[in-house]
Structure 1
Amino acid sequence: MDDRRDDQKVDICIVVPPFADIATPPLGSAILAAACKARGLSVRVLHGNILLASLSGYDAYRAVSDSSIKQMVGERLFRDHAYPAAMRARLGEPGPVPEALKAEHDAIAPTVGPFLDALTEQIVALAPRILGISSVFQQNLASAALALRVKAAAPEICIVLGGANIASPMGEALADIFTGVDHFFSGEADIAFPDFCERYVLKGERPAARVVHCEPIRDMRVTPTPDFSDFFADLRAAQARRQLPPELPYSLPMESSRGCWWGAKNHCTFCGLNGETMSFREKPAALILEEFDAVGDLWGVKRFMLADNIMPLRYLKDLLPVLAEREERPNLFYEVKANLTHEQLDLMARAGIDAIQPGIESLSSSVLRLMRKGVSGLQNIMLLRDSRSFAIRVVWNYLYGLPGETAGAYRAVLDLMPRIEHLQAPSGMSGIVIDRFSPYFNDPATFGIADLTPIPVYRALYPDAAALDRIAYHFMGRYSTELLRDPALLRALEDEIERWKQQWARRSPPVLAIVKSSAAGAMIADTRRVARQPLTIIAPDRVAALRSFERPVTRGDLDPALAAHAEWFLARDMLIEHEGKLLNVVTHAGTRASPALQRREQQKAAGLAA
């Protein structure tokens, strides 16, 4: 932590508990700190995540921070510190720690007590009137444990807890068992929390209710530019002590919208985000541009991870064209819808968007319909193809286990995967979890789901079994699918996706790309496992034919000449036939992209062709 400031008294202390990521700063605490400072209140954000990572080791901390929600290893580490003795006696047995995380768990466990002591000491030294703690993902029990310690050491401090884990009815249920917390903020607290702090610090007034329900922000212009000063103070101090990698942070989080314009029309069946409001709200392009410039210049970081659930469509017209025209621009990560066109991806690449999370989830149209995704399997493959051409990294995960899925849908994709291994591999394959606020949770009978219950690990984390239905965010239900009844097919899918991932873990992932093009034809490089030969020269008529399949085409629409070309490309797996249509899966190595991308891709191609 930053020793320069820890003896300064403040009105408000905000704590970011473990196991928040430390590769990028938390956004919520930075926004709330800025909002309170705008009211004339003094604020110090203490990053408990950085402190614990410094004590226990970065690698062990990161492994737990990134671990599966089904295991909740981060919560397990704090469970014995989160409750008074009488409540601890009612906790269920946690069972063994997953073997893959046992070493990391065992490295962190001895540091939890000293961590809580050290952080409590720092908070008490600041003598804040209010201690605010944020809780999302695996932060509930660290928050409860810290609140208990601080309340015992300094009962005069008003302790409040907010964040996604406090959304109603979870907040009300946690209020019954988190005895060290005075107030719980449910919902978007951008205005309600500074209001609360101002009234309490200046007038000593507090609401009668322990759970404060916050109204959603209607106008994103009221949210301030995030203040990351305390994050950098804490991080740089740990880096100076050689406790954390010097290259951190990898990026800074920013927020240009809230809600989901697609979800407001068609709520994806498994999605539990935006539990209290799906209403879409966005910042004007000029405002987010100002924030990119101000934050980037202040901290010397030019990579931003946008926290939006989905990029505003309007930005394709009023934000990205402005960024594309700049000599220097930040690199951006955005979540997007997968039906982006080639032209839109071209604009995004020129505007500095070099990574996207498009919610692909599946390459089967029938499964995507079950998800209410509003795209087809071929549209997802087109997105992967064109993103590779523009060197835009695609973050995605293959989901399975959806009520109504068929084995045939997965067999078709299994046959397809070796042919498209040159496209961005998924991060893995995951069975769905039924999340609170999702359609699966809200209306399980419609989807054939019975007996919804919290996932088993909750029983070992919370003392009141009867309240778990209100506390839990992740659930399981009783239903079956053709895939779940076919373990051999499921195993084959997992194995093929693992092979795909391994191909992309290599220094040079597989290529199927036009690497040279002229009036005389084109050269196609192919390093996939299914490749016939590494380099293929095609004449101009074949180049033209290949372009005819940039979008899906049915066989019935082909004239004899184009049909003959199609068979030639199909024999070389440069065209795929999927769900009754043909599609070109050859990418372009910089021939239709931004100048910087052209240079990178041509350098790769030159090395291959040499």
Structure 2
Amino acid sequence: MMFRVALVNMPWITAKRGSMALGILERVLHRHHIPAESFYLNIRLAASMNLKIYETISDAPLIGEWLFAQHLFGPYGSGELDNSAAAVISRDGPELLDLGRGRRIGFDGIVRDILPPFIDDCLERVPWSDFPVVGFTSVFTQHVSSLLLAKRIKERHPTTLIVFGGANVAGVMGLETLRAFPWVDYVVEGEAEESFPQLLRNIQSGRLYDPVPGVSCRRDDRVIPAREQPPLVDMRQVPIPDYTAYYRALQEEGLADRVRPLIQFESARGCYWGEKAQCAFCGMNGRRMTFRTKPGRRVVRELRVQARRHHTLDFEAVDNAFAPSFFDELVPRLDCRRDGLKIFYEARGLMTRQQIRRLRDAGVCNLQIGIESLHPDLLRRLRKGTTVIQNLQTLKWCATFGVSVSWNFLFGIPGETAAHYREIMDLLPSLTHLDPPQVVARVILQRYSPYFADPERWGIAGFSPKRLYTHIYPDNRVNLRDLAYHFSFTLRQEGENPATYIGPVARAIQHWKDTALLRFIHFTCRKGPGFVLLKDNRPLGRPPDSEERTAVLDGLAGRVFEFCESIRTLPEIAAFAAAGNGGANTAARVRDVLAELVGRNYMYTERNRYLSLAVPEFPTS
């Protein structure tokens, strides 16, 4: 039999993107003359049900895992768990299955009517006997569906070798996957461009257990851990991902005209900021933080090749954050407006006016900014490396140049108090002309985060896997401490329950989001000869909130407001004011003017730094 490899992408990963990992591995294996074929079985399930419901489950941590667990370990499977919706709700309450925002889904109907024919179809329509090796990519909520199909394949074709890769098998999670699920033969951790072909060459030559960096395996009843981590890949050698199988699946399953795909690409691996100081709650990158970039010319060529090949113009960078070096290496080469491309990146709130403008001109139209909180003390506790005033400046410049922003608002941060959120409540009305957070969420402890690695330092008394895991994996089979990625935690000194104080903030943010959809709230400034004209209808508590208010700032107030278009320190403002009036403006007078501007919610101040909040109507550069 010809040596061929099947690469499998299972639910509930979104149907909106192809798998960059599988796309890269297909190309890598082609270089090594190993035939490989990718199967986008997630697209098959998405096409068999309401697409909006599929994507809702895709976005919900663990819900998709639990649905498939009913067919692996529950009443439709081995019977090791009684994990029907009724059983889960009876033991732990309905909130465990809550999708948020009042969304209701008929879970029982999905488990009973949709998943059984899907699983059978996966087994029958793919000729698994043609593939000596079947590889599953497992990220986010793909693990249980992959385990289920892998088990069924192994039962029908006992000699088929099953390989798992992806973030769900990083470190001890991969070893526990091998130990707990005997139908899994190999786990490939981390970057697989070198390790996976080497493993396949070993298998071809009958050397099934020869050590390969980053590869752990099962031999009889023993788990043999990898002796060393895989080498870090030279980004210049990473091929352009092949998304042909993804687009073919959309066409074959009838979703080509219902899904607007995003093409994923990478311009870097690792985390530029995490190498310096990892965010306290973040477990991304697993155990490898080393930051490396792909040459800018390669990135631009890749975008154009993919756009032409797939007639797709929307791109999503998988980089953890936009690195400062990109402004010299990548941005000058991007000309996405000419090519009609739109690009999404993640970033930190540390960018200047000129940088935001350059991103917009290059075609980066959407940013996810790691803001997380609107209180300076909470940002320090999260180890974000940013301040509130820096984040607000970034939001303001994005609004100025038409760059759309998404960001998350976190609560339940170790060390927070109700007083923090009372101060945030006072600030929120001043910001309603800027992009609101998309999500209000409680902090979850992630494996490989600083919270996880050193809980004592952060005041965490203990942590345990999220409760829903107990309805996904049998505790007599699986050590959840080694397999789980999401954890709940308790603090050494428990303060007030966040549920008692987050409600008003969450409702205010929801109102902010609702009004943002209407593009109704604004706070703008326009420079005139010797004065600044403000137009403002933010809901600042002075009725009627919906009516536009105008204000004219002239003299020192106007000059200071304009000077603080970007963040300025108090000494800088005082020196500017003195120079502009022959030294007649005293420091005391400058402080009085600043206090009035802040008091009228025209400016924000943090640790003697000031920022005007209005969005310029006619930005000059």
TM-score range for the pair, normalised by the shorter chain length: 0.7 to 0.9
1:62 alignment counterpart: 55
1:497 alignment counterpart: 509
**CA distance in structure 2 between the aligned counterparts of 1:128 and 1:478, rounded to whole angstroms:** 47
Amino acid at match of 2:236: R
1:263 alignment counterpart: 274
**CA distance in structure 1 between the aligned counterparts of 2:225 and 2:246, rounded to whole angstroms:** 27
What SS is found at the alignment partner of 1:80?
A: helix
CA contact (8 A) 1:453 1:477 kept: yes
2:613 alignment counterpart: 585
CA contact (8 A) 1:23 1:251 kept: yes
Q: Which range moves more in the overlay, 192-201 or 275-284?
A: 192-201
Q: 1:79 pairs with 44, 69, 92, which one? A: 69
1:472 alignment counterpart: 484
Cα offset for 1:411?
1.7
Q: Could you give the per-residue CA deviations for residues 220-263 of structure 1, whole angstroms, max 9, x where no partner exists?
A: 12221100000000012223xxxx37152342100111111211
CA contact (8 A) 1:220 1:282 kept: yes
Q: Which range moves more in the overlay, 138-147 or 31-40?
A: 31-40
1:103 lines up with 2:80 in the alignment: no
Question: Percent identity of the aligned residues?
Answer: 28
Unaligned runs of 5+ in 1: 1-7, 594-610
The 3 A distance-change label for structure 1 pair 84 and 92 is closer
Cα offset for 1:509?
4.4
- Structure 1 residues 12-27: aligned runs within 5 Å: 12-27=5-20
Cα offset for 1:346?
1.4
Cα offset for 1:398?
0.7
What SS is found at the alignment partner of 1:494?
A: helix
What SS is found at the alignment partner of 1:363?
A: coil
**CA distance in structure 2 between the aligned counterparts of 1:191 and 1:149, rounded to whole angstroms:** 29
> Aligned-pair RMSD on alpha carbons?
2.8
1:575 lines up with 2:603 in the alignment: yes
Cα offset for 1:380?
0.9
Amino acid at match of 2:121: A
CA contact (8 A) 1:324 1:347 kept: no
Cα offset for 1:578?
4.9
Q: Which range moves more in the overlay, 316-325 or 519-528?
A: 519-528
**CA distance in structure 2 between the aligned counterparts of 1:107 and 1:91, rounded to whole angstroms:** 19
What SS is found at the alignment partner of 2:366?
A: strand
Amino acid at match of 2:503: R
Q: 1:183 pairs with 156, 181, 186, which one? A: 186
**CA distance in structure 2 between the aligned counterparts of 1:312 and 1:567, rounded to whole angstroms:** 36
Cα offset for 1:536?
2.5
CA contact (8 A) 1:220 1:283 kept: yes
Amino acid at match of 1:534: E
What SS is found at the alignment partner of 1:430?
A: strand
**CA distance in structure 2 between the aligned counterparts of 1:124 and 1:301, rounded to whole angstroms:** 31
Amino acid at match of 2:539: R
**CA distance in structure 1 between the aligned counterparts of 2:474 and 2:395, rounded to whole angstroms:** 46
Amino acid at match of 1:118: D
The 3 A distance-change label for structure 1 pair 257 and 486 is closer
Cα offset for 1:361?
0.5
CA contact (8 A) 1:24 1:248 kept: no
The 3 A distance-change label for structure 1 pair 574 and 132 is same
2:579 alignment counterpart: none
CA contact (8 A) 2:281 2:446 kept: yes
Q: Which range moves more in the overlay, 323-332 or 422-431?
A: 323-332
**CA distance in structure 1 between the aligned counterparts of 2:487 and 2:114, rounded to whole angstroms:** 31
1:370 lines up with 2:381 in the alignment: yes
Q: Could you give the per-residue CA deviations for residues 320-362 of structure 1, whole angstroms, max 9, x where no partner exists?
A: 0222597336321111222111111111111111111221101
Cα offset for 1:161?
1.0
2:357 alignment counterpart: 346
**CA distance in structure 2 between the aligned counterparts of 1:509 and 1:303, rounded to whole angstroms:** 27
The 3 A distance-change label for structure 1 pair 448 and 215 is same
**CA distance in structure 2 between the aligned counterparts of 1:184 and 1:65, rounded to whole angstroms:** 24
The 3 A distance-change label for structure 1 pair 92 and 488 is same
Cα offset for 1:313?
2.2
What SS is found at the alignment partner of 1:176?
A: helix
CA contact (8 A) 1:20 1:26 kept: no
Unaligned runs of 5+ in 2: 211-216, 219-223, 575-584
Q: 1:35 pairs with 28, 34, 53, which one? A: 28
What SS is found at the alignment partner of 2:180?
A: coil
CA contact (8 A) 2:71 2:77 kept: no
**CA distance in structure 2 between the aligned counterparts of 1:130 and 1:48, rounded to whole angstroms:** 17
What SS is found at the alignment partner of 2:441?
A: strand
TM-score (norm 2): 0.86
- Structure 1 residues 451-470: aligned runs within 5 Å: 451-464=462-475, 467-470=479-482
Q: 1:550 pairs with 565, 574, 577, which one? A: 565
The 3 A distance-change label for structure 1 pair 374 and 141 is same
The 3 A distance-change label for structure 1 pair 114 and 79 is same
The 3 A distance-change label for structure 1 pair 138 and 500 is same
Question: After TM superposition, which residue ranges in structure 1, 4 or more long, deviate above 6 angstroms?
Answer: 84-87, 480-483
CA contact (8 A) 1:135 1:162 kept: yes
**CA distance in structure 2 between the aligned counterparts of 1:357 and 1:99, rounded to whole angstroms:** 25
**CA distance in structure 2 between the aligned counterparts of 1:390 and 1:511, rounded to whole angstroms:** 15
Q: Which range moves more in the overlay, 181-190 or 101-110?
A: 101-110
1:397 lines up with 2:411 in the alignment: no
The 3 A distance-change label for structure 1 pair 316 and 116 is same
Tell me the number of residue pairs that the alignment of Structure 1 and Structure 2 aligns: 576
The 3 A distance-change label for structure 1 pair 261 and 555 is closer
2:198 alignment counterpart: 195
Q: Which range moves more in the overlay, 556-565 or 313-322?
A: 556-565
Q: 1:206 pairs with 179, 200, 208, which one? A: 208
2:442 alignment counterpart: 431
Cα offset for 1:417?
0.3
